[in-house]
Every structure is written in C-alpha cells, then in structure tokens.
C-alpha cells in the first residue's frame, strides 16, 4: 500500500544560546515565536517553535537550545539544509537585510530553475531562502517586522545528505508517496503531493562525505504531516509492516508523533496536524507564556528557576 504524507510538518534543530536563537529567527528573519515550552524529554531546556502566527504545519521550525553543548558536524545521515519559500522579487530585499545584520551569505544562485540565497544561523545551521511556489494558503505576516511582500512564507524543502541515496529514495516514493521530479548531478529531487507547491526533498549523494554528528548547529529530525490520529495509526502499522523500527505514538500536546530512521540514518517523524498550537493558549495570544504539559505543571516553579531568562518579541519575558 502506498500512502502519502501531506508535506513537511516541522523541522527540529539544536541551538546553543536561546536568546541568540530568538534574536535571529524572530528578529532577523521575522518568524513568529509560536510557542515557548520545554523539551518534554529534558524539561530543564526550552523548546522554541517558530512559524506563522497560527503555527500552521508546514511553517514550523523548532529548536532545542542547549547552552554549552558541543558543536555538531554537518554531514551524511542528516538533513543538512532547511529551505524557506519567499516570493519572486524578494531576493534583493533579503540580501540587503542579511548584509545589514552582518549575516554571511552566498551570492544568489540558481538550482532547479529557482533562485537560492544560502546562509547560516548563529550556530552554523544551514538555511536557504528560495523563490518559487509557496504552497496553499495566504502568506503570513510575522510580527510586522518584514514588509508583507517579502515575508518568509513556509517551508520550500530540505536537503538530506547521504552516502548513497537509492534506499532513501525508495522510502520516499514507495512508502511516503513523494514523486521523483528531476536530478542535477548528484542531487535528486522528490516532490510532495500532486503539484509543485507542497515542498521538496533533495537527496544529495556524497559517497565520500564525512558522517554528520547531531549536536549544536544541526538538524535533529524532520517531521511529515498526517491529518489525525487515525491516519497516524495507519502510518505506524504500515511502517512496521515494511520492517521499520517505529516508536509507539507519543503525545506532544500540539500533535501526536512517532519516529523511525530512514535507511541513511536520518530521524523521521510522522506528526498530526491536530490539535494544533491553540490547544493551551488562545490563538491570538500564542507564546504569551511558557506552556507546560499537564504532567509538568506541578513542577512549574522549579522549572522556571532552572530555565534561563529569555526576552521574546515585543518585550515579552520568559519564564
């Protein structure tokens, strides 16, 4: 049975200093700080979510900030680039903005007939802004810091670096329902959905490339969209039937998750669109405070004492 994911749900990466992370993604890039919570598996650490003001799946980049953690290494067995969509005609604005904020970047270049602007965040994470189709829905207006015509719209895609790409390609096309839409040298592109607007995955084949090490400045995992719990149960059963070691379903409050590794070692997640980020805060007041799952509410005072002070957009203070 070939099912089909509905696109990228979120990408999660590892940062060092949480304040530098907020200053860059909410300040420089103008993304909305959707949710400030804790890492459920390490609750003395923040878990920061960025995206559009509603936290729609397909816009969400999240971080585990671990001050003092070692720097990772970008390499095979990893998502090595996260790409966001911007509108045609916005490239010049972003070159100027990155230059004004002293963010080193490449010269704009073309790939698969798209214009690409590549740079790194303060921890060295590879990020791209790509012109082209942005997916369904209206572009969002993150906090008003970026003119509406130039806002980052949603994910455009990711690059996955691998020693060999064929088995991962088989997973993408034979199980997750992506389509092979082209190749350039050692880069192989797979698209989500029936059109070209729900994003891509580029598999970059690097047989002699160094193996990646997941730590600060690297991606921890990529999550794929499925609508609800029933669909997720079907995904879990299908992945297990295909021989993947898939975890039980885990409650992440804002979505339900299970995890497995692709043949190249990349950690994949299946995440539900529902219930969404307004389940514990009003939709128009997201990231108004540090939110905690019910099983951690009794430890709020202790966690607040352990979490570093954080200044969010519009002067909001955490914890």
- Those residues whose C-beta lies under 8 Å from the C-beta of residue 113, and which sit 6 or more positions away, are none
**Any domain includes 311:** yes
Query: Does 3 reside within a domain?
Result: no
Distance between CA 63 and CA 11 in Å, rounded?
A: 9
pLDDT computed for residue 197 by the predictor: 57
The pLDDT averaged over each successive group of 10 residues in the chain (319 residues) is 85 98 97 96 96 92 97 98 95 97 96 95 98 58 76 94 98 95 96 72 97 98 96 97 97 97 98 96 93 96 96 92
Pairing of strands 114-120, 179-184: unpaired
- Number of domains forming the structure of the chain: 1
**Structural domain includes residue 85:** yes
Number of other CB atoms surrounding residue 206 within 10 Å: 15
Give pTM, 2 decimals. Answer: 0.95
Q: Flag whether 2 is in a domain.
A: no
Cis amide bond preceding 264, omega within 30: no
Domain that holds residue 22: 8-318
Q: Cis bond leading into 142, ω under 30°? A: no
Beta carbons of 189 and 180 less than 8 angstroms apart: yes
**By 3-state DSSP, what share of the chain in percent is helix, strand and coil, each rounded to 5?**
20, 35, 40
Report the C-alpha gap between 76 and 74 in whole angstroms: 7
Whichever domain contains 170, its CATH number is 3.10.180.10
Q: Tell me, yes or no, whether 190 lies in a domain.
A: yes
The pLDDT value recorded for residue 136 is 47
Bridging pattern class, strands 187-191 and 126-131: unpaired
Residue-wise over 43-68: b if at least 16 C-beta within 10 A, else e?
bebbbbbbbbbbbbbbbbbbbbbbee
In a domain, 1, yes or no: no
The pLDDT of residue 148:
87
Q: Is residue 91 part of a domain?
A: yes
């Amino acid at each position: 049975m070939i099912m089909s994911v509905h696109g990228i749900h979120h990408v999660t990466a590892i940062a060092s200093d949480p304040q530098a992370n907020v200053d860059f993604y909410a300040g420089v890039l103008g993304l909305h700080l959707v949710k400030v919570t804790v890492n459920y598996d390490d609750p003395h650490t923040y878990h920061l979510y960025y995206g559009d003001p509603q936290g729609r799946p397909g816009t969400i980049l999240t971080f585990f900030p671990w001050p003092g953690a070692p720097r990772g290494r970008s390499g095979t067995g990893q998502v090595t680039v996260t790409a966001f969509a911007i509108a045609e005609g916005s490239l010049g604005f972003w070159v100027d903005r990155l230059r004004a904020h002293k963010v080193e970047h490449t010269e704009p270049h073309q790939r698969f007939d798209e214009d690409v602007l590549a740079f790194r965040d303060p921890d060295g994470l590879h990020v791209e802004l790509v012109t082209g189709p942005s997916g369904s829905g209206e572009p969002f207006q993150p906090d008003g810091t970026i003119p509406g015509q130039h806002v980052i719209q949603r994910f455009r895609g990711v690059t996955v670096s691998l020693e060999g790409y064929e088995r991962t390609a088989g997973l993408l096309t034979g199980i997750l329902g992506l389509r092979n839409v082209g190749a350039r040298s050692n880069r192989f592109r797979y698209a989500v959905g029936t059109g070209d607007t729900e994003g891509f995955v580029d598999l970059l084949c690097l047989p002699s490339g160094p193996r990646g090490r997941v730590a600060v400045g690297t991606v921890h995992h990529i999550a794929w969209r499925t609508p609800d719990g029933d669909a997720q149960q079907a995904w879990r059963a299908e992945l297990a039937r295909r021989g993947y070691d898939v975890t039980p379903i885990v409650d992440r409050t804002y979505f339900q998750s299970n995890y497995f590794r692709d043949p190249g070692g990349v950690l994949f997640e299946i995440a539900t669109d529902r219930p969404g980020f307004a389940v514990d805060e009003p939709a128009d007041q997201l990231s108004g405070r540090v939110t905690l799952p019910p099983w951690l509410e009794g430890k709020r005072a202790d966690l607040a004492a352990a979490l570093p002070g954080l200044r969010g957009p519009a002067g909001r203070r955490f914890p």
